[in-house]
Amino acid sequence: MGELSRSTIFFSDQHLCYADILSPSQVRARIEVAVLNFLKALSSNSPSISDLSLISRNSSNSRVSRGLLTGDSWIFLSHSFCTRSLTKENSAKSFIRVWKVMEICYQVLVQEKRVTQRELYYKLLCDSPDYFTSQLQVNRTIQDLVALLRCSRYSLGIMASSRGAIAGRLLLQEPDKEVVDCSTCGSSGYAISGDLELLGKLTMGTDARYIIMVEKHAVFQRLAEDRVFNQIPCILITAKGFPDIATRFLLHRMCKMFPNLLVLGLVDWNPAGLAILCTFKFGSIGMGLEAYRYACNIKWLGLRKDDINQLIPKECLVPLKPRDLQIAKSLMSSEILQDSYKEEVAAMVQSGRRAEIEALYCHGYDYLVKFLATKIVQANYL
């Protein structure tokens, strides 16, 4: 809470709702409170079955916060609720599902263990076959529970994997362990753990000037192998595709700890690549209550339409897929996307083509490093 009030001057985000990272005992306490409240309502003088009020996770409840003196802006969910009620026919089952998942999470936390989403699905399938039919339903119910108890999925005891990796001029130290130098971690880099509590306790030190977020694993591996951080003082970070919470959390922490570092994004030239960049930049509401929290002010380094026109030969461009067009549409209609980004999306759709970062290799192997260096020096990023 303290961190939050420091970041905006006018306290315009008093309505901000977020999911806490809590210890198992705290989550158990919240579950116990929920149960006690329910029982109290049931056994009161005028008994009633209380509805579950969950923070609604749709675009009507999302707000944009634009930093006034900082470049940060992010979307957040406000205090608008949707209810799951036992008395209403269409949400009765959802109501019960939330309690069922809460029960199992409680048991898991008492055992001091963790469970994967798949294991949770099988357990629910066996214990309550009438209410759970698919993995997707289980996942949605977990998001409901996160919205109800306002704690992160990981705090509920659900295992999270992280695909993220980091390399470059960064020193990391886990509590009571040795210092890890990410520039000597080889081409696979330092694997980012899925444990947010652990990531929160890392001590970090750096002499880099930039953080470069790379969309794809192959490009990250190539840059790490070529030791680009010896030529450009930077830290490389990748989520190997769509960013997971842990990678975003770590990037967010680094931004807060080293505010002078410039964060740049290197993605493919297609709507999906831009969507990945925007998830780092603004967060996403679709992914539930905790997903928007770790936004950071990342700038779009490449690939952009000028690069496509000047550097990529026509043969390297591939047609857009229908999914790309869908993503482009939702990007264009988003209120938070700046105009310069929307122009780029329009150019993508108009040309009907997309290009991968690897296409730059047609100019030679060391071209990518030169490309990055030139762009950084020219401050050519959006």
Min CB(184)–another protein separation in Å: 6
Min CB(187)–another protein separation in Å: 6
What tokens does 22 get?
């809590």
Which C-beta is closer to another protein: that of 126 or that of 136?
Answer: 126
Q: How many CA atoms lie within 13 A of 348 on its CB side?
A: 30
Min CB(154)–another protein separation in Å: 12
Contact residues: another protein, CB under 8 A:
108, 111, 113-116, 118-119, 121-123, 125-126, 129, 159, 161, 165, 184-188, 191, 193, 217-218, 221-222, 225, 313, 315-316, 356, 358-362, 365
Min CB(115)–another protein separation in Å: 6
What tokens does 377 get?
């020096």
Dihedral angle computed from the Cα positions of residues 59, 63, 69 and 70, in that order, rounded to the nearest 10 degrees: -40
Measured CA to CA, the distance from residue 68 to residue 109 in angstroms comes to 42
What tokens does 308 get?
């496509």
Which C-beta is closer to another protein: that of 216 or that of 248?
Answer: 216
Catalytic residue numbers?
Answer: 122
Peptide bond into 236 cis (omega under 30): no
Handedness of CA 37, 43, 46, 47 (dihedral sign): positive
At 85 the three-state DSSP class reads coil
Which C-beta is closer to another protein: that of 125 or that of 262?
Answer: 125
> Tokens 């009633």 — which residue?
48
Q: How many CA atoms lie within 13 A of 123 on its CB side?
A: 15
Which C-beta is closer to another protein: that of 165 or that of 301?
Answer: 165
Q: Torsions phi, psi of 267, nearest 5?
A: -130, 165
At 368 the three-state DSSP class reads helix
Min CB(362)–another protein separation in Å: 5
Which C-beta is closer to another protein: that of 2 or that of 129?
Answer: 129
